[in-house]
Structure 1
Amino acid sequence: MPESPTSKARAHVTMQDVARQTGVSAQTVSNVINGRTDRVGTETTQRVIDAIDELGYRLNQSARSLRKGRTGMVGLGLPVLASEYYGELAERLAHRFADRGIRLVTEKTGGALSAEVESLAASHLETYDGFILAIAASESTDLNKILPTKPIVLLGERALSTRFDHVLMDNVEGGRAATAHLLDRGARSIIALGGSAADGDSVQTLRARGFVQAHRDRSLPAPDSRIVASGLDIADGYQTVRRLLTEGRPFDAIFALTDSCAFGAMRALHESDLRVPDDVQIVGFDNVRAGAFSTPSLTSIEPGNDEMADAIVEVMMARLSSPLRPRDPQRVMPAITLVERETTLSREVDSVAS
C-alpha cells in the first residue's frame, strides 16, 4: 500500500520542528526525549510531549545509536537455521532484544570451525554491538586465541573457555531424567537414539552419559549397543529406527536425543504398526512447540528454554550497558524439567524383572 502524504510528512519531522512548535530549544526537546526532565519544568515537558504527539515525531534510532558508537544490532550465529529448536531460540531472543530496542541478526555457521572463529573476529564484530555464538565445532584452544572487541556470549553443550560468558544446558541431567522416566514406567530395553558412547563433551556424549547414569542408579546394565549413533533431525530418527526394526533389534523404549529425532522415530514405528506408548515408549529432548501437537503428544525434556533466553539477553545487556566495567565471565545453566505427555505410560511400574 502506498504511503500516505501525511505519513511521508510525519517521517520528515525533526527535533527542530518540535522545538519551534513549543517555543523551546532543541536541547530542551532532547532532554525530554531522553528522560532528563529534572532539567525541564513540568509544564514545558508536557508541551513538548503534546507537540511530539501532534507532529508525529519519531526518534531516528539508527542515528542515535551511531552517535553513541552503537549499531543497535546483536548477532546470533547458529549451526543450522532449518531446525525447530534453533528457530524457536532465535524467535525468543529476537522478541526479548526488540523489547530493549535492539535488532537481532541471525547468521548460519554450518557448525564449521572456520565460520565460528571468523564470526568472532574483530572485523566481523564491527557490524554488531555484541555477538551470541552457538558452539558446534570450536574448542577452548580455538576460542582462547580470540581477542574480542565486543561482548560475546557462548551457547553450547560444553563448558569451554572461561574467558567468555556462557549459557548452556544441563545435558547429563536431562539424559538421566529422560531415561529414569522410562525405567520407572517399566522399560528395560531402551535405545538412546542419536547418542555416542565415546569420550568428549557434545550433545551426543553428554546426553548418552545421563542415559548410562540412570541405569547405574538402578543397578541395571546399559550396554554400548543400546546407544545408537544417528543424526539428530527428523529424517535421521526415521531412517535409524526403520533400520533397527528391519534388523530385528528388540527395544521397548526410545530416548531420542532431540524432539526432531523423536518425531522421525514415531513415524517409523507407526509404519511398522507399533503403538506408542503401548509397544514402545518415547521421550524426546528440547520441548519444542510441535511436541504438544504431535499424535500422540511427545514427552520431552524441557531444558529451560525461556530461562536460557532470559539469561542470554540479561548477560549481553549488562555487558552493553557497562562496557568498561570489569565483570567476571558468567556461566549459566538452568535446571531441566520433564514434561510428561502421551508417548510414555501414565503410571510408574513398581517392579519389572530386568
Structure 2
Amino acid sequence: MVTGNEHEAIGTSRPGGRGGAAKSAKMKDVAALAGVSPKTVSNVINGFVHVTPETRERVQQAIRTLGYRPNTSARNLRRGRTGMIGLVLPELNIPYFAELAEHFLTTAEEHGRTLLIEQTLGDRTREAAVIDGLGDQVVDGIVLSPLGLHGQALAGRVDTMPLVLIGERPSGGLTDHVAIDNVTAAREAVAHLIAGGRSRIAAIGAQLEPDVGTPLLRMTGYHQALHDAGLPIDTRLEIETHRYHRADGAKAMNALLDAGDPPDAVFCFNDALALGALRTLYERGLRVPQDIAVMGFDDVDAGRFAIPSLSTVAPDKAAVARHAVQLLLDRIDAPETAAREITIGHELRVRESTGG
C-alpha cells in the first residue's frame, strides 16, 4: 500500500500571486481541492480500479490545477519498478500520433508515471524487438501501436513485459487492446458524402496487405457504404499510398485527376492524406466542396485551420490514452488477468470541405 508520505511532490510548484513565492503542492492539497481523502488520491495515482469515474476525474483535474507531481521513488524502489512506462508509435511526424502522444504524456503524469516515447517507423523488426523485451529493466510496461507486426508474433512471444496494443492490429485475445471501430467510422464518413449527393467517391490510402490493419478496415467500411447506397465499387478510384503523409495524398489526388473522369468526392484514410489532396485540388483550380468534396480521418488540429476546413472522423484520442494507460497499470499490478478489449468512440466532424 502506498502511503501519503511517499507521494509528497518533488520538483513541481504551484504558482503564487504576482511577485509571490511558489508553493509546492502536496497530496493533502489535491485531496482538499477534489473533496476526497488522501487515500483516494493515492488510489487514483496508482491506477486502482475501485474508484468511480466521476471521482477519478475530480482528482485528476485537481492534480492538473495544482501542478502536483508525486514522488514515487520510494514506492518504485520497494516494488522493484522504475515508475516509467513506454509508448511506442510508428511515426511522430504524423500529426495524429503526435497529438496522441500528448494525451499519453498528460495521462501518465496524472498517474505519477514518467513516459518514454519511441518510434518504429512501422518497421516490423523494430516492433518485434519491442514485444520481445527491448527496453526490459527500463520501463515497467509498454503501450505499442504496431503497423507491420502480425498476430503470429504475439503468439510466439516469450517476454513477460506488460504490453497493451493500440490501433487496428488484432491482438487475438493475447494481450490488452484499445482501438476504435474503423469499419463503422469509415462507413459513416462515406455515407455522409453519399447523403450530400456524391456518387463517384474515391478512396485514398489503400494498401495491399493480407492482414487486418487500418487500410483494410477503412476500405471495408468504404465498400459497405457504397453497397448500402447501391453504388458500384470501381477499383480505379481506390488509390494505394505507400505511406500516410501529405505528399502521398497530393500525389494520389493528382493521379485521380490525370486519369480522367474525376470523382466528385474523396475519402482519405487519414487527415494528412486529405490535406495533401486539398493542396492538389487548389493548385489545379478545382473548388472544394463544389467540384470535389474531401473527407479525412483522425481530426488533427491542422484540419480545423485548413482552407476549406476539413471534415473528418474524430476518434476520442484522450480516451485511447486514458484506457490504454489504465489497462497497462492494471496489467503491471496483476499480470495474470485475462486480456481485455476496449473499443473507443468516435464522432463525425462535418466542416467546409464537405459543405458543412
**TM bracket, shorter-chain basis:** 0.7 to 0.9
**Which residue does the alignment assign to 2:294?**
282
User: Is it true that 1:233 corresponds to 2:272 in the alignment?
Assistant: no
Deviation, 1:178, is 1.0
User: Is it true that 1:163 corresponds to 2:174 in the alignment?
Assistant: yes
Aligned residue identity for 1:284: G
**Which residue does the alignment assign to 2:136?**
125
- Paired with 1:224 and 1:196, the residues of 2 have a C-alpha distance of 13
- Paired with 1:157 and 1:284, the residues of 2 have a C-alpha distance of 17
CA contact (8 A) 2:150 2:169 kept: no
> Percent identity of the aligned residues?
35
Counterparts of 1:57-206 in structure 2, within 5 Å, are: 61-122=72-133, 124-196=135-207, 199-206=210-217
Deviation, 1:198, is 6.2
User: Is it true that 1:250 corresponds to 2:262 in the alignment?
Assistant: yes
Aligned residue identity for 2:324: I
CA distance 1:166–1:273, shift in 2 (3 Å): same
Aligned residue identity for 2:192: H
- Paired with 1:279 and 1:133, the residues of 2 have a C-alpha distance of 40
Deviation, 1:111, is 1.2
Counterparts of 1:275-354 in structure 2, within 5 Å, are: 275-320=287-332, 322-323=333-334, 326-346=336-356
- Deviation per CA, 1:154-208, whole angstroms, max 9, x where unpaired? 1121323311001112111111111100000011111101124765312211111
- Deviation per CA, 1:111-135, whole angstroms, max 9, x where unpaired? 1121111112235222101101111
Classify the secondary structure of the residue corresponding to 2:199.
coil
Classify the secondary structure of the residue corresponding to 1:124.
coil
Classify the secondary structure of the residue corresponding to 2:143.
strand
Aligned residue identity for 1:333: T
User: Is it true that 1:211 corresponds to 2:222 in the alignment?
Assistant: yes
Aligned residue identity for 1:214: A
**Which residue does the alignment assign to 1:266?**
278
Classify the secondary structure of the residue corresponding to 2:233.
coil
Aligned residue identity for 1:162: G
Aligned residue identity for 2:255: R
- Deviation per CA, 1:273-297, whole angstroms, max 9, x where unpaired? 1111111101100111111111111
- Paired with 1:256 and 1:337, the residues of 2 have a C-alpha distance of 16
**Which residue does the alignment assign to 1:26?**
none
Classify the secondary structure of the residue corresponding to 2:354.
coil
- Paired with 2:337 and 2:70, the residues of 1 have a C-alpha distance of 32
Aligned residue identity for 1:335: G
- Paired with 1:86 and 1:119, the residues of 2 have a C-alpha distance of 18
- Paired with 2:209 and 2:195, the residues of 1 have a C-alpha distance of 26
CA contact (8 A) 1:168 1:332 kept: yes
- Deviation per CA, 1:12-59, whole angstroms, max 9, x where unpaired? xxxxxxxxxxxxxxxxxxxxxxx68xxxxxxxxxxxxxxxxxxxxx98
- Aligned-pair Cα RMSD in Å: 2.2
- Deviation per CA, 1:83-107, whole angstroms, max 9, x where unpaired? 1001011110110110111011111
- Paired with 1:197 and 1:335, the residues of 2 have a C-alpha distance of 27
CA distance 1:89–1:59, shift in 2 (3 Å): closer
CA distance 1:149–1:207, shift in 2 (3 Å): same
- Paired with 1:312 and 1:274, the residues of 2 have a C-alpha distance of 42
Across the two proteins, how many residue pairs are aligned to each other? 292
Rg bigger for which structure?
1
- Paired with 1:306 and 1:60, the residues of 2 have a C-alpha distance of 25
CA contact (8 A) 1:170 1:303 kept: no
- Moved beyond 4 Å, runs of 4+: 196-199
**Which residue does the alignment assign to 2:6?**
none
The runs of 5 or more residues in structure 2 that have no matched partner are 1-9, 12-37, 40-68
The runs of 5 or more residues in structure 1 that have no matched partner are 1-9, 12-34, 37-57, 347-354
Aligned residue identity for 2:312: S
- Paired with 2:211 and 2:133, the residues of 1 have a C-alpha distance of 30
Aligned residue identity for 2:305: F
- Paired with 1:237 and 1:145, the residues of 2 have a C-alpha distance of 36
CA distance 1:90–1:313, shift in 2 (3 Å): same
CA distance 1:123–1:248, shift in 2 (3 Å): closer
- Paired with 1:198 and 1:318, the residues of 2 have a C-alpha distance of 33
CA distance 1:198–1:135, shift in 2 (3 Å): closer
**Which residue does the alignment assign to 1:51?**
none
- Paired with 2:211 and 2:255, the residues of 1 have a C-alpha distance of 27
